[in-house]
Structures are given as structure tokens and as C-alpha cells.
A and B are shown apart, each in its own frame.
Chain A
Amino acid sequence: MSDPASSTPSLRTPLYAEHLAAGARMVDFAGWSMPVNYGSQIEEHHAVRRDAGMFDVSHMLALDLEGFDATAWLRVLLANDVARLARSGVPGKALYSCMLRDDGGVIDDLIVYRFDDAHYRIVVNAGTAAKDVAWMRRHIAERGLNASLLERRDLAMIAVQGPKAQARTWQALPDLKSGSETLAPFSGAKIGDVFIARTGYTGEEGFELTLPAARASEVWRMLTAAGVKPCGLGARDTLRLEAGMNLYGQDMDEAVSPLDAGLAWTVDFSDAGRIFSGRAALNAHPARHCLLGLILEERGVLRAHMPVFAAAGTGETTSGSFSPTLEKSIAFARLPLHAAPGETVEVEIRGKRLLARTVKMPFVRHGKALV
């Protein structure tokens, strides 16, 4: 077989020593040394679907945005409309959005939490963090806005996910319970030095905890003692695939419009007066593709960039792997706009065409297969 990948990672999260102590296999991810698994990726995947698992996501960057112009600026910066957050009436409400180039390409996808109209927390991907911050700072400077952006590399982030994630988090960290048991879905709250949010990237219930880096190891150990299983990037990928959640750099990037990447639901055109970055380009170039799920009906494993032959025309997979929950291979496929769920298509794997079925995503939600 060919050489298993090895590389020289550079950056370490505050939990690096915990990963080594737990027997993690470390890999380089976007310049960070991260755990890919702690033994079995499939067992970690099942732990999240059936009980509770946790991920070190400290490589992602938290940004604090502050200033009188914060809300007005975010309404221009982001394709989704942060005005929804105030309207929701939910404190700490989160919004998923793309940040677009003027030509409509996706610079990054991110989560933004609103504390009030002058205070937001933004979380961006690790691999895009530097260019995101540069884009944001240039945007602010060019407009002379009253808005400051603070990079919070002093924080660590732990995502606890699974049907028992909340109960086990409260068992490990009882001080968080009263302030988080009434949290609405997709919202967060500051409790002491911890920001706890009911968000995640797995299709399960759970929390994402943002806390001072100095406390990360202690909290990780308390969660471990409460029965939360450490999970690596491998399981994170198969979980988000089953949950039908896009991965930046794979399912969309600067060359892809969000309308062609299954992300039209995150682009808010409803306020005609809101001229967000990329809006003109999206108006000029309507969607040409849709993103559908694929389930391989034969033996094999779907991966990214395999050609797909559908009745509506050809397309390609953007992500693919083996689904531990379905025990079949699944993928995301970018197909011509008229392709629909329930069709049989062919996928070319190493020169052979295998049959697959198109489905509406997600594949799995809250532990249950939906396809």
C-alpha cells in the first residue's frame, strides 16, 4: 500500500497534551496538529450518535466584534442577515452564514452569535482564519466604521455532542447547569468565564464550550471523567457528512457560489435594501447546480471529486466517505439543477461505474437514519 500521510505540524491547541495522553493519532490539519482519532474512528462516531463524544475545536478562531456599527456592518459583510438575531428575541442567538467575495465566491462559512447590537462573537474556520480577518479588517477600514475585531487565541473550544451530551456536561460542570438548561436551540450564554452554546456540527444535541485556554485541560478531564468520549477529526467528518453539513474547502470555496453548494437557505435576499457583499453577483448568476446526497448501492467507498452521471447531466462528488450509521458509503454530489432526490445515478470509481441513489439530506439526524 502507499505511504500513510505524515507531515510536520506546527501549531498546538491548549489540549495537545491531553490528546497525546489519550493515545490520539495526530495529523496536520490547516497547520494545526490535531487528533484524527484515539483508536477507532467508527467507535467515536457511534459514541456521538448513541451517547456523548467531544471534539477539540480550538483550532477554529473566535473573534469578538464590538462597536456602534457592528450590526450595520455584519448586514453588509454576511450573506445571511444578522437582523434575524435581534428579531428572534433570543439572547445569544446564533446564525450560520457565508461570507462572500464581491464575485459571489465563498470566502468562508461561519457562526455569529449576537449579545447585543454592538457585541457579537464570530467563529471562523482554522484554515481560512488569516484571510477572513484580513478581509474583515480591510472592510472595516475602507468604510471607516466604529467596529473593532479582537482575535481570541486566548480561548479554547470544546464541542460536546450526542444524546447524552447535555446531561454529561452538567454532571462534569454542575455550575453550568442552571444557566444552560433553558438555552434555546442555536443560542449561547456566558456563564462565568465559559461561553456555552447549543450548537454543533454533528446533527446531534450538544454544547460548544468556549473557555480560557488555561482551563481547557481541567474541563477536558472532567468531561472525560463524566463519560464523554474524546473524538477526533475523522469522526467529526463522518458525523457532519451524515448530518448533511458542508465543509469549507471541500463542498464550497472561493470558486463556488453558495447557490451552487446547497447553501441558498443561508442567503437572505428578503431585505431588498441590504446590499451585502456578493449580492449583485448572485443576482447576475442564478444557481446552476444543486447539492444532493448520494447513497452507494454497491460495495465501495465514495470520495470527493468522483464523476457522477445523472439523467439531468454530469456532476461530481464534493465529499464522501463510509457512513458508520448507515453502514454504506455516502457522498455529497454537485449535480445539474434539475437533478432530484430519488434518482438512480452512476458514480465512476477507479474507472468503473457503480450505481448510487440521490437523496435529500441530511442522511442521519438525532441518531436516526432518514434515508
Chain B
Amino acid sequence: MSQVPAELKYTPSHEWVRFEADGLVTVGVTDHAQQSLGDIVFLELPEAGRVLAAEEACAVIESVKAASDIYAPLAGEVLAVNQTVLDAPESVNADAYAAWLFKLRPTGVTPQLLDAAAYQTAIAEE
């Protein structure tokens, strides 16, 4: 069973989103995603400063098996990328919620995201 922490928001494309106290948004991929992908060996993340549209394909995660796009859960400017996961992509397999990928400063209206229960339902239907 994959973990779906109650305090996070989710997208149907398997990103998790955490709204931080300082107004920033932290983005990663879910435990369900890392389990489906298998051993992760490479990540390509957006450059700091890049401005993303909501649902824009902005990063790539590659497992031994395949490459998958990662989509921006909401519009925003990339403020930071996680250098640690770039150097150790397998850390996403070890703990998908600790291994954040990038942080955004939201620039638009926050779209509707899934709560933990809704995401749990979505992955159960796959």
C-alpha cells in the first residue's frame, strides 16, 4: 500500500503539493508514483527562475523502466530545486515525501487540487 499523508494536496498526475507557512509551495511525486516507476535513476528539474504555467510539463523523472513527465501543479516561479535528489535520484524511492523536487512562488489562482482522501480514491481506481 502506498502512503498518502493527510496534510498534503495532490494532482491526478501523481504530484504532491505542500503549502508552506511562508507562502511557497513545495512539489514532489507521490509514493504511489515512485512505486509504479520502480528504481529512479535520473531527474531533470526546472531551472530556478523559470516561470511555469499550471499543468506545464516542467520536469522529467526517469526510472530504469521509463521516462515520465512531471507537471506543475499550479502556476508559479521556480525558487529552488532540490540538489540532493538530483545527485541521488534513488532518494525518491526511499521517501517520496522527504525528497521534494522544487519550490514555487505561486503567481496565479490556486487550482483545485485533490485532498488525501480524493487522491487515495483516484489511485485505487487505476
Chain A residues within CB distance 8 Å of chain B: 1-6, 25, 36-37, 40-42, 234, 238, 299-301, 303, 321-322, 324, 329, 350
A48 to B61, CA, bound (A): 26
Q: In residues 9-32 of chain B, which contact A (Cβ within 8 Å)?
A: 13-15, 29
**Contacts A238-B64, A350-B60 given; does A1 touch B38 at CB 8 Å:** no
Chain A neighbourhood of B70, CB < 8 A: 1
A58 to B40, CA, bound (A): 28
Residue from the list A1, A37, A299, A329 in contact with B71, Cβ < 8 A: A1
- On whether the beta carbons of A301 and B38 are closer than 8 Å, the reply is no
- On whether the beta carbons of B14 and A1 are closer than 8 Å, the reply is yes
CB distance from B15 to the nearest CB of A (A): 7
If over half of A's interface residues share one DSSP class (helix, strand or loop), that class is named, otherwise mixed; here it is: loop
- Is B67 among interface residues, defined by CB-CB distance under 8 A? yes
Chain A neighbourhood of B61, CB < 8 A: 1
Chain A neighbourhood of B29, CB < 8 A: 1
Choose among A1, A25, A301 the residue with the greatest number of B CB atoms under 10 Å from its CB.
A1
- On whether the beta carbons of A3 and B41 are closer than 8 Å, the reply is no
- On whether the beta carbons of B38 and A2 are closer than 8 Å, the reply is no
Q: In residues 23-56 of chain B, which contact A (Cβ within 8 Å)?
A: 29, 33, 35-39, 41-42, 44
A1 to B42, CA, bound (A): 14
A321 to B64, CA, bound (A): 6
Chain B neighbourhood of A4, CB < 8 A: 14, 33, 36-37, 68, 126
Chain B neighbourhood of A42, CB < 8 A: 39, 64
Chain A neighbourhood of B67, CB < 8 A: 301, 303
- Is B115 among interface residues, defined by CB-CB distance under 8 A? no
- Is B69 among interface residues, defined by CB-CB distance under 8 A? yes
Chain A neighbourhood of B60, CB < 8 A: 350
- On whether the beta carbons of B39 and A6 are closer than 8 Å, the reply is no
Chain B residues within CB distance 8 Å of chain A: 13-15, 29, 33, 35-39, 41-42, 44, 60-71, 93, 126
A303 to B42, CA, bound (A): 13
- On whether the beta carbons of A36 and B13 are closer than 8 Å, the reply is no
CB distance from B13 to the nearest CB of A (A): 6
CB distance from B60 to the nearest CB of A (A): 7
CB distance from B123 to the nearest CB of A (A): 10
CB distance from A64 to the nearest CB of B (A): 35
- On whether the beta carbons of B39 and A41 are closer than 8 Å, the reply is yes
Q: A1-B70, A4-B14 are in contact. List 14 more A-B contacts (CB 8 A).
A: A1-B69, A2-B68, A3-B13, A3-B126, A4-B126, A6-B126, A25-B38, A36-B38, A40-B93, A41-B38, A234-B64, A300-B44, A322-B41, A329-B41
Residue from the list B13, B37, B41 in contact with A301, Cβ < 8 A: B41
User: Can you identify 28 A-B contacts, CB atoms within 8 angstroms?
Assistant: A1-B15, A1-B37, A1-B69, A2-B13, A2-B68, A3-B13, A3-B14, A4-B33, A4-B126, A5-B66, A25-B38, A36-B65, A40-B38, A41-B39, A41-B63, A41-B65, A42-B64, A234-B38, A238-B64, A300-B62, A301-B41, A301-B67, A303-B67, A321-B65, A322-B62, A322-B64, A324-B64, A350-B44
Chain B neighbourhood of A301, CB < 8 A: 41-42, 62, 67
Chain A neighbourhood of B66, CB < 8 A: 5, 303
Choose among A2, A300, A303 the residue with the greatest number of B CB atoms under 10 Å from its CB.
A2
A36 to B14, CA, bound (A): 21
- On whether the beta carbons of A300 and B42 are closer than 8 Å, the reply is yes
Chain B neighbourhood of A36, CB < 8 A: 38, 65
- On whether the beta carbons of A1 and B39 are closer than 8 Å, the reply is no
A300 to B86, CA, bound (A): 11
Residue from the list B44, B65, B68, B126 in contact with A1, Cβ < 8 A: B68
A299 to B87, CA, bound (A): 10
CB distance from B35 to the nearest CB of A (A): 8
A227 to B71, CA, bound (A): 42
With both beta carbons as reference points, the residue of chain A lying nearest to B32 in the complex is identified as A4
CB distance from B99 to the nearest CB of A (A): 14
**Contacts A1-B13, A299-B42, A322-B42 given; does A41 touch B64 at CB 8 Å:** yes
Chain B neighbourhood of A25, CB < 8 A: 35-36, 38
CB distance from A211 to the nearest CB of B (A): 29
A25 to B66, CA, bound (A): 15
Chain A neighbourhood of B65, CB < 8 A: 36, 41, 234, 321
With both beta carbons as reference points, the residue of chain A lying nearest to B13 in the complex is identified as A1
With both beta carbons as reference points, the residue of chain B lying nearest to A350 in the complex is identified as B60
Residue from the list B13, B15, B38, B68 in contact with A37, Cβ < 8 A: B38
A186 to B123, CA, bound (A): 46
